[in-house]
Amino acid sequence: MSVYLGFAGAGMGSYIAARQRSHQFLAENAHRLPKTQRGWYVYHRHKQLESIRAALSWKGGLGNGAKFATMGAIFCGLEALLETHVTQERECWVNAVGAGTICGALFAAGTRLSLQSSKYALAMGAGTGLAIGLLEDVSAYVSGVSLKYPSKLRSGSLDLWIPGWDWEKGLAGFGVFRRSE
């Protein structure tokens, strides 16, 4: 998961850094805009090169990719730690909310946010953790297989909640569910 978050962070960071450098380039050269067609060609070519350089810099895509990957690894590690020591090996949304809240606190402390911004970071961390936890639980509820541990059936799968329905065979022609015979 951290690798995917790293790629997503690198993509978003590259886009933001390139756009910011493009605007900065325009602001720096607004007093001497080109007058000829060749001048505009050279201007835009140089602006594109500056944007690409900014997107591939450490402050751009690479830095944000590393930040996203690190935060994703911390979130996954905290969720596993909470699952092991707090909820006694029970997968539930509470672990993700706790991990999200702790990640929000670490982010607020690491970036030295103000008190109001720290509250917002904690709320965003808890909300994101809640969304991730509920999505994990709903997915495991629907499929009967844990997202974190695909080799084992999750206790409380659909076979226990809806007796007579078999999630493995699927509904004849309609996807996941089918009446067992």
Distance CA 41, CA 13 (A): 27
DSSP E strand boundaries for the chain:
165-166, 178-179
Contact 80, 149 (CB under 8 A): no
Residue 122, in any domain of the structure: yes
**Which residue has 């844990």 as its token pair?**
146
pLDDT of residue 174: 44
Residue 109, in any domain of the structure: yes
- Quote the pTM value: 0.68
Strand, coil or helix: what is 153? strand
Number of structural domains in the chain = 1
84 token code pair: 């092991």
Minimal CA–CA distance to 133: which of 121, 154, 147, 150? Answer: 147
- Mean pLDDT of successive 10-residue segments in the chain (181 residues)? 82 91 95 94 96 90 86 92 84 89 96 95 95 86 77 53 44 44 47
Residue 155, in any domain of the structure: no
Q: How many residues does the chain have?
A: 181
Domain that holds residue 29: 2-144
pLDDT of residue 178: 42
Residue 163, in any domain of the structure: no
168-177 residues labelled b (16+ CB within 10 A) or e (exposed): eeeeeeeeeb
21 token code pair: 């450098």
Strand, coil or helix: what is 138? helix
